[in-house]
Structure 1
Amino acid sequence: MKSDAPLRERLIDVGVELVTSEGTGSLGLREIARRAGVSHGAPRRYFPTHQALLSAIARRGFADLGARFAAAGAGEPPPREHVRALGRAYVGYALEQRGMFELMFRHDLLDSAGQEPSAAPRLRESTLPLFGLLTRLVAGCGAAQPEVTAAALWAGLHGVAQLWGWGSLPLVLGSGAAEDAGRLVDSLVDAVVDAHLKAQAP
């Protein structure tokens, strides 16, 4: 069984490379197998369904986002500034890794049962540690309903990421140069954080 692990990981590696460079539309099972140098039926030995392989690729995205969250908390900033840093990390990841971000929140992967080995948690549960961190920080800012406030804040950040990626926010805000875009994105993140934590301690 040890010889299975490298091929399983290679298939995931190839999927990560594909979604990063070419988007979610490139993640056909045959194309992943071809680029991994195996027969089109080989992935079935490790992933019983196409969704199972896509879910494993998406887990890499959540791991990467988790690492960015950890970096955003370096130095243990005050809760409000930590939330702001997490917001910028979240939206920044979404805009830098658009294909992976789209894959991570595909509802068919998040909701489908039987896509992962029985010992693995469902993909949706990959969001729980990140949401737990946000909730704890929001509580540290004095929110009366930390989970509700954190959920609303997350929804706002996700909306910024989606609408900016689709070009809607750059259009209405008249974003031109790259430096203007970066400044505006940061301002939008700050506005979302301030809107939800405005009555809380800094």
Structure 2
Amino acid sequence: MTDSEKSLRDRLVDVGVDLVAEEGAQALTLREIARRAGVSHGAPRRYFPTHLELLSAIARRGFAQLADRAAAVLDGTAADPRTRLTALGGVYLDFALGNGGMYELMFRHDLLESGHLGLRDTSLPLFGALVGLVAEARPEADARAVAGALWANLHGIAQLWGWGSLQLATGLADFAPLLRTVLDAHLGPEGGR
């Protein structure tokens, strides 16, 4: 691939990232991405033979952004796994709520199952970090199962908070108490209380 081909390929993905941030995942049509990139509506097909491949490339950027944010808290000095899990949960929820369109795109089943650009492999390292922290916090438990349940709870909080349902049901203005409750449920009460 020449530099100009790589440049146009990257520009199409950049435009898609901007579009999903501005208008949500439903706006990611090949025609609109091509229009905003200033190319013919057929041009994206030269680099992304299917719409799913372009969407996967855009979602891959979202996973990279989330991984960068997670690395910043995981590489910190906090030795306590619960503290790191709290920080990771906060990063996950902040990302999901601040990037709703990208978050929706990243977890689309058809993209993860399609295998385009190794998207599933891009999502697994973060889950691996979650499993590792759970294993540190609860060495007696099946860390993968607990991490899976914890992730499902975080995903549920993100979805329900994004829709406004949790604020209505709980009267909370911040998701932090929910995050603490989820961690207590999966790790046991903080400090053994």
How does the TM-score come out when normalised to structure 2?
A: 0.93
Counterpart amino acid of residue 125 in structure 1: D
Higher RCO, Cα 8 Å, sep 6+: 1
Partner of residue 19, structure 2: 18
Cα RMSD for the two superposed structures: 1.5
Partner of residue 72, structure 2: 71
Residue-pair matches, total = 189
User: Which residue of the other structure, out of 166, 173, 183, is the alignment partner of 1:193?
Assistant: 183
Secondary structure in 1 matching 2:175: helix
- Residues 83-118 of structure 1: per-residue CA shift (max 9 Å, x gap): 0100010011000000000000111111125xx3xx
Counterpart amino acid of residue 5 in structure 1: K
User: Which residue of the other structure, out of 112, 135, 146, is the alignment partner of 1:149?
Assistant: 146
User: Residue 138 of structure 1 contacts residue 146 of structure 1 at CA under 8 Å; is this kept in 2?
Assistant: yes
- Residues 10-61 of structure 1: per-residue CA shift (max 9 Å, x gap): 0000000000011011111000000000000000110000110000000000
Counterpart amino acid of residue 100 in structure 1: M
Percent identity, aligned pairs only, is 58
Secondary structure in 2 matching 1:76: coil
Q: What is the CA–CA distance in structure 2 between the aligned matches of 1:160 and 1:200, rounded to whole Å?
A: 20
Partner of residue 169, structure 2: 172
Partner of residue 123, structure 2: 127
Partner of residue 58, structure 2: 57
Q: What is the CA–CA distance in structure 1 between the aligned matches of 2:17 and 2:56, rounded to whole Å?
A: 11
Select the structure that is richer in helix: 2
Q: What is the CA–CA distance in structure 2 between the aligned matches of 1:79 and 1:14, rounded to whole Å?
A: 38
User: Residue 86 of structure 2 contacts residue 183 of structure 2 at CA under 8 Å; is this kept in 1?
Assistant: yes
Question: CA offset at residue 125 of structure 1?
Answer: 1.9
Partner of residue 107, structure 2: 105
- Residues 140-175 of structure 1: per-residue CA shift (max 9 Å, x gap): 112421111111100111100011111110111224
Query: Structure 1 stretches (4+) deviating beyond 6 angstroms?
Result: 199-202
Which structure 1 residue ranges, 5 or more long, are not aligned? 176-180
